[in-house]
Amino acid sequence: MSAIEVDRLSHVYSGAEGGVPALQDISLSVEPGKFVVIVGPSGCGKTSLLMMLAGLRHQSSGTILCDGRPITAPDPSRVGVVFQEASLFPWLTSLDNTEFPLALRGTPRAERRRRAEEMLNLVGLKGFGARYPHELSGGMKQRVSIARGLVQDPPVLLMDEPFAALDEQTRMTMGHELLRIWSKTRKTVVFITHSLTEAVYLADEVLVMSPRPGRIIDRITIDLPRPRTYEMMATDTFGKLRERIWQQIRKPE
């Protein structure tokens, strides 16, 4: 069974003159444990689609199944989300931020401490649990966000440009770290980015979207071996894959 199954999803935001058509006839299927990256021009509906996959917004038509069951409302035990800006509570420590979703669900304190510490270790923040967000670098804050996204052990992790605010060097490191975490946890990941290099480096499959209203115009299998290495970026195969995505994105309508 697919981890995520989207069938003929369309969305129109209400507004003047019949509204804003944002997404059109999106169908996609993600196998469990796969890393899928979505790219497409700004405003094509990527975030909208992710919000719908997370149950945070409802589509005008079409269905979304996660683990065979419809997604109609947020369900952090099935789907974790990491946004572009690390959306941490400034008044909570890293540990409290990480365990926040568990606290909401009423998980006993000792148990949520244990889980949150485990997740902070996993993202490389051992010993930083007592720090507040203002005491952390941008990359560290994103790590806390990832830890929080993983803390309920959801089979699916959705990430909307999680590294966009980071400098290039930190971003590369974080991408590599994410693959390490992913290979340990075997989550199904749907990841949005504007960076074509990041897309090819991370993905099993890249879905390319058209300008708004967003449709899927290409699906590119990235058959580079794993684990991925920085050296692969300099190869011909990598360059060709990147070029193919770029050609699709820049294609005139």
**Per CB under 5 A, does 248 bind Mg ion?**
no
Out of 2, 29, 47, 197, the residue judged to bind ligand ATP by CB under 6 A = 47
Phi/psi zone of residue 123: left (φ > 0), alpha (ψ -120 to 50 degrees), beta? alpha
Examine residue 212 and tell whether it contacts ligand ATP (CB under 6 A). Answer: yes
Q: Please tell me the chain's helix, strand, coil percentages from 3-state DSSP, rounded to the nearest 5.
A: 35, 25, 40
How many residues belong to the site for Mg ion (CB under 5 A)?
1
Instruction: Pick from 47, 63, 185, 197 the residue near Mg ion by CB under 5 A.
Output: 47
> Which range of residues in 46-54, 130-138, 179-187, 223-231 is near ligand ATP by CB under 6 A?
46-54
Q: Of 40 and 55, which CB lies nearer to ligand ATP in the complex structure? A: 40
Rounded Cα–Cα distance for residues 68 and 90 (Å) = 37
Give the gyration radius of the chain's Cα atoms: 18
Residue 183 engages Mg ion in binding (rule: CB under 5 A): no
Work out whether 22 is an interface residue with ligand ATP (CB under 6 A): yes
* Minimum distance, C-beta of residue 213 to ligand ATP, in the bound complex (Å): 8
Q: Report what 60 binds from ligand ATP, Mg ion, none; CB cut-off 5-8 Å by kind.
A: none
What is the C-alpha separation between 209 and 251, in angstroms, rounded? 11
Could you tell me whether strands 188-192 and 35-39 are parallel, antiparallel, or unpaired per DSSP bridges?
Answer: parallel
Name the residue nearer to ligand ATP (CB basis): 28 or 125: 28
Stretch that binds ligand ATP, among 36-44, 144-152, 197-205, 237-245 (CB under 6 A): 36-44
193 binds, among ligand ATP, Mg ion, none (CB under 5 to 8 A by kind): none
- Strand-by-strand arrangement of the 188-192 sheet: 79-82, 156-160, 188-192, 35-39, 205-209, 216-221
Sheet holding 61-66, edge to edge: 20-30, 4-13, 61-66, 69-70
**The token pair that represents 17 in the structure block:** 């003159």
At position 123, the amino acid (one-letter code) is V
**Minimum distance, C-beta of residue 245 to Mg ion, in the bound complex (Å):** 17
Question: Which C-beta is closer to ligand ATP: that of 22 or that of 88?
Answer: 22
Site string for ligand ATP, 153-192 (x = CB under 6 A): ----------------------------------------
Distance CA 89, CA 31 (A): 33
Q: Is 44 in the site for ligand ATP (CB under 6 A)?
A: yes
230 binds, among ligand ATP, Mg ion, none (CB under 5 to 8 A by kind): none
Give Cβ neighbours of residue 69 (< 8 Å, ≥ 6 apart): 78
124 or 211: whose CB is closer to ligand ATP? Answer: 211
Give 160's strand partners.
192
Q: Which residues bind Mg ion (CB under 5 A)?
A: 47
